Structure 1
């Protein structure tokens, strides 16, 4: 009798639902269960629109083995998508390590949304795919995973506890889901999400202005920018320019990236400017990069004229009047035109209904920590570009966290908002090497470089999500 009581008490203590397992024991328990009961992998193809399809990679445990390990959990993973960062971890490398990080009652679903040039030519078209296609793919897949009438939820009485995990563009799409489907999501973990395509032009213009201004004001602006971003202005500007070139391939018109579903930052604040309808700094960068109508904004057959379609200009904006001299006209006018400044007004969330009627899921944003400009005085062009990209993603992540705390928790205590929305800044390789305990590992860390940091941030996000599954 006493032995039965002790065993019952031990079972209650180790029950995953209670979330009272120590972290080290929790990892061992999950890992051993995953090894003994390998998860099954199968693919699902869902129709999207008239002729589109999206592929889901599903990793699910054996149902009989998972029944005694708490409620059903579902981790929705969104791959990073196209990026200027060569160190981005491909989705195929991420999934194996995800399988051994969660309790056996967890299923993993990776939504292989279409964007850019797809890896799987059997599912994805050979031509480049632009926004808003990935938005439709992710929304269709999420509806399939959450609908009570879906075959995925057949024979289950309760809906699964859903956590989202994404990085780069996948992080932006995951953020979009968290802001539009908050009641169905338990937690959101994003690694350096690309959540504001519309603000890239402002960064380039500000840095250009700083370089052409007077020496005193130029020095002041550079100091402010360096203090805010922690890296050289040239690195930030180069990264922003590369992202603008990438944007020209992923969006057909500026109105597509001014859509809050593509730039989730705009759900919580105004963009600060009107949607471009004239030549801007974007056109110059794309023109200098040699992106023409075949790989820039204008892929439509109806727009294959000699005029630029990089900003969705109407035909009338390029017409030359009869009194003008078009003999010397060699192309479109690429002189940047200053747009009127608007206030980046905070927007109410949710847009309709009472703020108390919905609560934002638990959010944690993983970014690189800020480093001093003197930490890496000599570096290659690729390293500078990677640091500039990390600085931009860090700035966007910090701003998104602040906007969520202000816009999504109106009338509530500040501590409640800070508890719900957190930011994790991971130390860079340079910072780790300066610490005494890491001096011995310097030779081992250096060859891995920035790619190791990308994987480390992802691993931090995985561990946090695993803890959120155990949290009520």
Structure 2
């Protein structure tokens, strides 16, 4: 049976982490590269996803490569894949002296979750196989395989996917993720409530989203209402965003709310697209679909797993409506890192934890530009060579 990230939500309390990750890998083994082409400053690779789909990768090689040059995966949402979109990746490669791989995942109303999760995992598998493992000659008869350190980064929806990848593929060996940097990552879709639903007014709107704006280009549209409408477009059912692969904060705690009734998403979709003839019937049938949830901590990574939390950096804008999500994520990660290291080696002090898990506040919405990417490149260049 083919596994999807949604199935993991239902099985979360019944499967240990090792079983979960094994199931993921069974679903992904069919991924392989199908075509390679070269452009002026980037190599293009199409990686198969399943039987009939593929995801494009753009590869920018390090300007000064060595036998253990790090690899940084940059997640990119839907947009035209042209050379004019590549300068940021080149700037990141230059600042970090790392090979930078852009994974151009699919995401739309027709290719909703978990499609982008499958694309990102397929691209990561390709990077592990073709870029993160390097054969090094020992002598004429022997050679060894060395593993390059891997980082991942992304903003907004890409930041959510980057966080998911960093938390589920962070084995310290075999090309696991060693560092992640995300900007205004949406790590908990379940924390978004319709106006008046919980008595808390939505955040101030900066600019409303439009149907033509791609999911990852909602930068200036970080208002509460905009994110609610975006959620209704990207998830066909509420239970899909209660999945930790879509809302990575749920790896560390249960949701602090009921499983949102489909009625809420119907209302959000009506505001976006206009009502349909079937909406009233669907809303009536969905009224009994709520499941009571209580927030409680989850241990992650679980004891005995092969995972080790990577270096993680969360950039948040002080005026961003997802700022609190970033702060919450840093808090649970810091606690997890402290407890995990306590079990392994007697513990980390507060300063050591703060160096491993960082919160960076930026002015305004805090969206990344070339200057921020160069700063991130310097950070990656440091932590990926430790």
User: TM above 0.5, one fold?
Assistant: yes
Instruction: Give ranges in structure 1 of 5+ residues lacking alignment.
Output: 1-37, 83-89, 117-126, 212-231, 294-304, 319-335, 370-386, 429-449
The answer to whether residue 378 in structure 2 is matched with residue 463 in structure 1 is yes
Q: When the two structures are aligned, how many residues end up with a matched partner?
A: 311
Q: 351, 367, 372: which is aligned to 2:316?
A: 367
The question of 1:196 aligning with 2:178 is answered no
What is the Cα deviation at residue 398 of structure 1? Answer: 0.6
1:347 alignment counterpart: 298
CA RMSD of aligned residues (A): 3.4
Which position in structure 1 is the counterpart of 2:205?
A: 235
User: Offset of 1:249 from its aligned partner?
Assistant: 1.3
1:182 and 1:247 map into 2 onto residues whose CA distance is 27
Which protein has the larger Cα radius of gyration, Structure 1 or Structure 2?
1
User: Normalising by structure 1, what TM-score?
Assistant: 0.58
Tell me the SS of whatever aligns to 2:147.
Answer: coil
Q: Which has the higher helix share?
A: 1
* Residues 350 and 93 of structure 1, relative CA distance in 2, 3 Å threshold: same
Q: Is the 8 A contact 1:367 1:394 kept in 2?
A: yes
Contact 2:77/2:106 (CA < 8 Å) preserved in 1? Answer: no
After superposition, the Cα gap between the structure-2 partners of 1:169 and 1:278, relative to the gap in structure 1 and judged at 3 Å, is closer
* CA–CA separation in structure 2 for the residues paired with 1:359 and 1:236: 38
Distance change (3 Å), C-alpha of 1:146 and 1:279: same
Which residue matches 1:417? 353
Displacement after TM superposition at 1:79 (Å): 1.8
Change (3 A) 1:204 1:258: farther
- TM-score scaled by length of structure 2: 0.70
> Is the contact between residue 77 and residue 105 of structure 2 (CA under 8 Å) also seen in structure 1?
no
1:226-305 correspondence to structure 2 within 5 Å:
233-235=203-205, 239-280=223-264, 282-291=265-274
1:468 and 1:413, CA in 2 relative to 1: closer, same or farther beyond 3 A?
closer
| 2:327 is aligned with 1:398 | yes
Partner residue in 2 for 1:29: none
| Structure 1 residue 199 displacement after superposition | 1.1
Distance, in Å, in 2 between the alignment partners of 1:53 and 1:138 is 11
Change (3 A) 1:135 1:424: same
Distance 1:91 1:263 in 2: 28
Q: What's 2:217 paired with?
A: none
Q: Is the 8 A contact 1:273 1:340 kept in 2?
A: no
* Residues in 1 aligned to 2:119 and 2:262: alpha-carbon distance in whole angstroms: 31
How far apart are residue 340 of structure 1 and its match?
Answer: 7.1
String of CA shifts for 1:313-335, please: whole Å, max 9, x gaps: 7xx927xxxxxxxxxxxxxxxxx
